[in-house]
Amino acid sequence: MAGERSGVARNPGDESVAAAGSCAKLSRGATALSPAGLSATAAALYTSGPVLMRLLQKYRPFICPFELILPVVPESARVLDVGCGGGLLLALLAASGRLHVGVGFDSSEPAIKAARAMARRAREKFPGVALEFERIDVNADWPTGQFDAVCIIDVMHHVPPSAWKGVLRLAFEKVRPGGVLVYKDMCREPAWRAWANRGHDLLLARQWIRYAPIAQIEVWCKELGMLLEQRENAARWWYGHELRVFRRPGGGVAG
């Protein structure tokens, strides 16, 4: 396994960012892959709705390594974001020029409302990019069709352990042959990072989370016939992240 990549973000308050005009200055494909640059993009796209929701999107790039996630998504991709929250991943993919069609779903109505508001602004800034968000429970029917990339980012620890394998199977079925499954979740080890992650979710989501062992995720994906292409761990402040990229063999056109 690759060694843990250590990354210490600068204090968000120390960044001088002209967020209001940042989207206007971005050409597709020119988004800075840094926490500060991605934060500025988020701030420019999330301009309405509850203040707390907007702040969560703006500052999440400082604790989640999106700079590792965005490059593994194929360019001009059709992407499904499972448990999309406020839609930040698809927003950043749209700004980076890697997205053609983005579909996200989440069980939270406030999160989907924020994502839809962002999508309206993104359509103005990035013509030709289609974003769609639906409120769907993870156990209900998922959006139809297959995708170049299916992303499960910081979701599995909110799913009951009995449903972990089933969620992976549903995700696999949504990946077109030749496409990728992008999986990231918080780490189980070292223990102090895991406890810090649990404290975060207890405070913000009011939920006591359980981690799916990353080795078990790899085994299940292998059983589904997927090939592990990338294995990377990262640290940001006290948060630990485990990123895995799996490819579904074959070729073809997304449905």
Over the stretch 153-186, which tens digit does the pLDDT of each residue have? 999 988 999 999 999 999 999 999 999 999 999 8
Task: Check residue 86 and give its pLDDT.
Answer: 96
Task: Check residue 8 and give its pLDDT.
Answer: 31
Joined together, the tokens standing for residue 11 give 């204090």
Evaluate whether 39 touches 61 at the Cβ level (below 8 Å): yes
Asked whether residue 121 is assigned to any structural domain, the reply reads yes
Asked whether residue 28 is assigned to any structural domain, the reply reads no
Report the chain's mean pLDDT, rounded to a whole number. Answer: 83
Joined together, the tokens standing for residue 240 give 């630990």
Task: Check residue 140 and give its pLDDT.
Answer: 85
Minimal CA–CA distance to 165: which of 112, 218, 240, 230?
218
Tell me how far apart the alpha carbons of residues 26 and 132 are, in angstroms, rounded to a whole number.
22
Task: Check residue 191 and give its pLDDT.
Answer: 56
* Regions of the chain with pLDDT less than 50: 1-31, 192, 202, 208, 253-255
Number of structural domains found in the chain: 1
Asked whether residue 27 is assigned to any structural domain, the reply reads no
3 CB burial (10 A radius; 0-12, 13-18, 19+): exposed
State the CATH number of the domain containing residue 112.
3.40.50.150
Q: What is the signed CA dihedral for 21, 23, 26, 28, rounded to 10 degrees?
A: -170
Asked whether residue 103 is assigned to any structural domain, the reply reads yes
Q: Which domain holds residue 198?
A: 64-247
